[in-house]
């Protein structure tokens, strides 16, 4: 909201049963000139009235609280009054599963719970993350959730079109994503056939969340989805997810493609980095690659996608209207790295169509951006 030439601050409501967490988050956010904590309450029952009274722009929400858990509250909120929510989650397996469900229900992003014994250096890093994600949430697109939290696994997903007439061992699909990406990846892979080419994925995600994320996607798709391991062969019908805190890259060994993992320095402030994955795909897969950039904040992977396109690979990005945050896809478009912009729900169908087309020679200038997805 704009008043004259000044922009009003982002109004934040904190919902958490821990007095310490409420205090830490309030202190961090109120130090920012563009953010104002308008309220803090200990459970969703109080939060319902606060939302009506204070009309916050963003809510930070704990997963586990008395009287009503965060997921039940989020489910109701996103059906009745959708708004940007950042989850406050513990970095445990239970916390990861709950957070992934929250993202399915429509939460924009998540941060870990602050620790009582956190040092000043780590507190500064934590504060930067919290502030950044609140700002992103305030600008994000909020979508009503698609299904109840109790129905996470589709018992009979639709059978996608087969691509088994393709030489899928020669093709690789590389996917990059960040904010909003866990759900975008699910939407794409749910529609992919079991006999498609190998898929490699870098999603910006904490190490504790990567395993539960891969397991969840594996339950929802016809492909075999798992965390990548160093040196394993990339096979058709399989999907390899970068473990949290390790870069994933693709290497060619004779007629085979292999996964490679590394704890090298972060690239574009990320490890795993989409840039690392896409750059390796450009070098080792080239014209046999299809690169997909999904929703996410920042520019990680844009240059790598451009190199894939220049090497003759096919490139597409999620369109702005269906993206939670159009940072990473938009960065690809801005430098001419994207052949096509496609709505999220149509990306899988477009991938299948692209796989049926012959590989193109390397190019640097041709574009399909004018084409209707």
**Which residues are known catalytic residues?**
178, 204, 300
Reported residue count of the chain is 373
Identify the sign of the CA torsion 101, 102, 108, 111: negative
d(Cα 227, Cα 210) in Å, to the nearest integer? 7
Q: What is the CA radius of gyration of the chain?
A: 21
Residues 6+ apart with CB under 8 A from 214: 225, 226, 227, 241
Helices 70-80 and 44-54: angle between axes, nearest 10 degrees? 30
Hey, which residues does 173 pair with through a beta bridge?
199, 290
Q: How far apart are CA 156 and CA 174, in angstroms?
A: 26
Question: 325 near 296, Cβ under 8 Å?
Answer: yes
Q: Extract the tokens encoding 212.
A: 């539960």
What are the phi and psi torsion angles at 29 (to 5°)?
-75, -35
Q: How far apart are CA 215 and CA 124, in angstroms?
A: 33
Q: Which residues contact 95 (CB under 8 A, 6 or more apart)?
A: 63, 89, 208
Q: Are 200 and 250 in contact (CB under 8 A)?
A: yes
Task: Report the alpha-carbon distance of residue 23 to residue 33 in Å, rounded.
Answer: 18
DSSP-assigned beta bridge partners for residue 325: none
DSSP secondary-structure letter at 134? H
Residue 111's φ and ψ, nearest 5 degrees, are: -135, 160
Residues 6+ apart with CB under 8 A from 262: 246, 247, 249, 276
């Amino acid at each position: 909201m704009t008043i004259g030439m000044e922009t009003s601050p982002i109004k934040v409501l904190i919902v958490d049963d821990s007095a310490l967490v409420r205090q830490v988050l309030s202190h961090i956010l109120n130090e920012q000139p563009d953010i104002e904590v308008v309220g803090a309450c200990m459970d969703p029952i109080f939060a319902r009235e606060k939302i009506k009274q204070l009309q916050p722009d963003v809510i930070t929400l704990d997963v586990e609280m008395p009287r009503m858990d965060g997921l039940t509250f989020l489910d109701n909120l996103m059906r009745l009054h959708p708004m940007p929510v950042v989850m406050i989650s513990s970095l445990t397996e239970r916390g990861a599963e709950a957070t992934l469900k929250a993202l399915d229900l429509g939460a924009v992003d998540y941060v870990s719970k602050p620790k009582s014994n956190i040092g000043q250096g780590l507190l500064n890093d934590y504060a930067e993350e919290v502030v950044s994600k609140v700002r992103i949430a305030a600008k994000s697109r909020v979508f009503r959730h698609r299904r109840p939290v109790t129905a996470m696994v589709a018992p009979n997903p639709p059978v996608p079109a087969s691509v088994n007439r393709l030489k899928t061992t020669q093709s690789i699909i590389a996917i990059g994503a960040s904010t909003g990406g866990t759900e975008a990846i699910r939407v794409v892979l749910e529609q992919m056939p079991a006999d498609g080419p190998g898929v490699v994925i870098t999603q910006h995600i904490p190490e504790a969340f990567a395993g539960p994320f891969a397991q969840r996607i594996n339950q929802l798709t016809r492909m075999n989805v798992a965390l990548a391991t160093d040196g394993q062969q990339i096979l058709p019908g399989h999907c390899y997810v970068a473990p949290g805190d390790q870069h994933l890259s693709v290497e060619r060994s004779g007629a085979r493609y292999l996964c490679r993992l590394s704890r090298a320095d972060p690239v574009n402030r990320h490890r795993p980095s989409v840039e690392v994955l896409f750059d390796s795909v450009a070098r080792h897969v080239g014209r046999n690659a299809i690169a997909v950039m999904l929703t996410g904040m920042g520019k990680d992977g844009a240059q790598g996608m451009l190199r894939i396109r220049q090497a003759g690979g096919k490139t597409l990005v999620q369109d702005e209207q269906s993206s939670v945050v159009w940072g990473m896809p938009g960065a690809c478009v801005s430098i001419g790295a994207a052949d096509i912009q496609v709505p999220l729900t149509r990306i899988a169908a477009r991938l299948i169509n692209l796989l049926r087309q012959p590989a193109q020679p390397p190019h640097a200038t041709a574009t399909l951006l004018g084409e209707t997805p």
